[in-house]
């Protein structure tokens, strides 16, 4: 078998075009990676919720009148419905920066009552309210959500009322309060 060895001689123009193409590909790759990294860094930290931990937390936080009736499986399904409501109606779209997402307290209850009926989950409205409160507490402890009173968010601290000094005396007002015998 004979092999032919072909030597390709590239001229100055071909070398320049090849180098230009390589530089262009590298620049495009660096810009794309930089854009992706910038987008990822601007995202809030991602919280991973452990389903078993959430069920245990909520089961301990629920009042006895709820835990005596609702099973762990029903609790798991209710927590799933609550997450479904959060995902379906209160996710922040990309680039959303108009402040906190506000919702009425009973919106989730109404949704979950309707969905529980749809999926044949036999729970009362009061049980659903208790589960939402426990699950919201868990999500807050886990750092997944931050619940605040909208009035507090919109009120400037300078506009909040000052505590009455008669109700909360200051140690600075009474010089003998800070010294010992």
Residue 8 has pLDDT above 70, yes or no: no
Higher pLDDT, 120 or 152: 120
**Which range is most confident: 3-7, 54-58, 94-98?**
54-58
The domain of 74 spans 51-91+101-147
Structure tokens at 78: 């209710």
Contacts of 39 (CB under 8 A, 6+ apart): none
Please report, rounded to a whole number, the percentage of residues in the chain having pLDDT higher than 70: 64
Residue 7 lies in a domain: no
Residue 61 lies in a domain: yes
The pLDDT assigned to 60 comes to 93
Residue 14 lies in a domain: no
Residue 58 lies in a domain: yes
How distant is the alpha carbon of residue 86 from its chain centre? 10
Q: Which helix (H) or strand (E) holds 23?
A: helix 12-42
Q: How far apart are CA 87 and CA 79, in angstroms?
A: 12
The pLDDT assigned to 181 comes to 43
Average the pLDDT over 39-44 and give the result.
Answer: 76
Count: domains in the chain: 1
pTM for the predicted model, two decimal places: 0.57
Q: How many CB atoms lie within 10 A of CB 6?
A: 5
The pLDDT assigned to 118 comes to 92
Helix axes 125-142, 107-118, angle to 10 degrees: 120
Residue 114 lies in a domain: yes
Average the pLDDT over 3-22 and give the result.
Answer: 75
Q: Contact, 123 vs 67, CB < 8 A?
A: no
> What confidence tier does 20 reach under pLDDT thresholds 50, 70, 90?
very high
Residue 161 has pLDDT above 70, yes or no: no
Q: How far apart are CA 181 and CA 170, in angstroms?
A: 19
Contacts of 83 (CB under 8 A, 6+ apart): 49
Residue 110 lies in a domain: yes
Helix axes 72-89, 51-61, angle to 10 degrees: 110
Query: Which range among 3-7, 71-75, 120-124 shows the weakest confidence by mean pLDDT?
Result: 3-7
The pLDDT assigned to 171 comes to 47
Residue 28 lies in a domain: no
Mean pLDDT for the chain?
77
Q: How far apart are CA 82 and CA 178, in angstroms?
A: 51
Give the residue carrying structure tokens 């909520």. Answer: 58
Residue 109 lies in a domain: yes
The pLDDT assigned to 24 comes to 95
Query: Which range among 23-32, 58-67, 102-111 shows the weakest confidence by mean pLDDT?
Result: 102-111
């Amino acid at each position: 078998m004979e092999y032919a060895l072909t030597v390709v001689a590239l001229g100055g123009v071909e070398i320049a075009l090849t180098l230009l193409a390589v530089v262009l590909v590298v620049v495009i790759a660096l810009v794309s990676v930089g854009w992706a990294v910038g987008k990822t860094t601007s995202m809030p930290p991602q919280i991973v919720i452990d389903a078993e931990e959430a069920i245990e937390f909520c089961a301990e936080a629920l009042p006895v009148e709820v835990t005596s009736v609702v099973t762990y499986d029903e609790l798991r399904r209710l927590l799933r419905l609550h997450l479904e409501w959060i995902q379906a109606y209160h996710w922040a779209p990309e680039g959303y920066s108009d402040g906190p997402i506000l919702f009425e307290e009973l919106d989730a209850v109404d949704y979950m009552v309707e969905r529980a009926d749809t999926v044949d989950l036999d729970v009362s409205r009061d049980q659903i309210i208790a589960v939402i409160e426990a699950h919201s507490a868990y999500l807050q402890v886990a750092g997944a959500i931050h619940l605040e009173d909208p009035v507090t968010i919109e009120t400037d601290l300078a506009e909040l009322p000052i505590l009455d000094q008669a109700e909360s005396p200051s140690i600075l007002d009474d010089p003998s309060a800070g010294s010992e015998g």
